């Protein structure tokens, strides 16, 4: 009886170990985690991560925090590749030139061929359309006549129409396709966005007796994210001599209203007494930020 109990216990142990191994080595393997299916074709986490590695910062970090739009781009790519294959198109044969860094991938080349075939005829642009756009842009054209800028305006309108045609084509493919996205798994892989400073942090900063720079921005704003490494670097280099804060205008809308923030990023500089002395809308390089902080009293 005792031996029988030991055998049963050993079997249960082996099954548990096998279960754990199956879960971690198979189910949790990125190549087996399916994020989406496009007409039955799977998009795995491994494939998603592979595409994400091609993206530069800060797009990469932003896509990790909100992966849905990036996954949608992959879905659209799959739909276009599937359509290209339906129409009998094949990827071009690779040559030695394809090893160049800026060369197109076979998939991109195939999609390009599909769109060229689908939209071989250039969109029609009328003289009335050219005149309308000219009248809208006239004040910004430096006094140039309609005849001088007509070819450029025509090209602009034609490209705009072409992009609208492609957008409509993709929408039609998407509407008739079978697309399934695992929202639970997508949420699970979403990275936590960087924390912003709080209203209390701002109050403390304004009474710190040091010059302070406040970046009013948002995690979803590309220029704002481009500023973050610069601000972090300045804060580290001049620790104890200045305060560098980042305020999320969507999270603290009351502060955005109080400081009349209309566009982001807006960099607001305060002197050691907490009085606003300068503001800049848009990205500002490190040299100019440091120079302004020194100008308003930051020690070296």
CB within 8 A of 263, min separation 6: which ones?
281, 282
| Cα(156)–Cα(192) distance, integer angstroms | 40
Select from 276, 62, 22, 87 the least CA-distant residue to 190: 62
Parallel, antiparallel, or unpaired for β 243-248 and 212-217?
Answer: parallel
Q: CA 41, 43, 46: angle at the middle one, nearest 5?
A: 140
Instruction: Name the helix (H) or strand (E) containing 31.
Output: none
Instruction: Name the helix (H) or strand (E) containing 106.
Output: helix 106-118
Catalytic residue among 43, 79, 153, 221: 221
| Cα(218)–Cα(223) distance, integer angstroms | 9
Select from 84, 78, 30, 74 the least CA-distant residue to 54: 74
Instruction: Name the helix (H) or strand (E) containing 133.
Output: helix 127-137
Select from 228, 211, 210 the least CA-distant residue to 219: 228
Quick check: is 224 catalytic?
yes
What secondary structure, in 3-state letters, does 136-154 show?
HHHHHCCCCCHHHHHHHHH
Catalytic residue among 74, 224, 244, 246: 224
Kindly list the catalytic residues.
Answer: 221, 224
């Amino acid at each position: 009886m005792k031996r029988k109990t030991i055998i049963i216990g050993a079997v249960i142990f082996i099954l548990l170990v096998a279960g754990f191994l199956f879960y971690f080595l198979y189910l949790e393997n990125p190549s087996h985690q399916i994020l989406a299916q496009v007409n039955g074709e799977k998009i795995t986490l491994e494939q998603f991560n592979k595409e994400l590695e091609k993206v530069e910062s800060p797009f990469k970090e932003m896509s990790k925090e909100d992966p849905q739009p990036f996954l949608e781009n992959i879905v659209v790519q799959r739909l276009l590749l599937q359509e290209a294959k339906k129409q009998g198109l094949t990827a071009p044969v690779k040559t030695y030139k394809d090893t160049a860094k800026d060369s197109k991938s076979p998939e991109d080349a195939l999609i390009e061929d599909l769109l060229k075939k689908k939209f071989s005829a250039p969109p029609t642009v009328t003289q009335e359309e050219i005149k309308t756009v000219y009248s809208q842009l006239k004040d910004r054209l430096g006094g140039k006549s309609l005849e001088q800028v007509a070819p450029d305006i025509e090209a602009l309108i034609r490209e705009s129409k072409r992009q609208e045609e492609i957008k409509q084509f993709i929408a039609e493919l998407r509407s008739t396709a079978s697309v399934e996205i695992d929202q639970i798994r997508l949420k699970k892989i979403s990275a936590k966005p960087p924390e912003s400073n709080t209203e209390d942090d701002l109050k403390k900063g304004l009474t710190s007796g040091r010059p302070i720079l406040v970046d009013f921005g948002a995690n979803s704003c590309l220029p704002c994210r481009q500023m973050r490494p610069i601000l972090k670097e300045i804060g580290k280099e001049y620790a104890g001599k200045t305060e560098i804060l980042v305020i999320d205008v969507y999270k603290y809308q009351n502060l955005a209203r109080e400081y009349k923030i209309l566009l982001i990023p807006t960099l607001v500089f305060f002197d050691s007494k907490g009085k606003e002395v300068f503001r800049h809308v848009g990205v500002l390089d490190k040299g100019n930020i440091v120079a302004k902080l020194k100008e308003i009293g930051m020690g070296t």
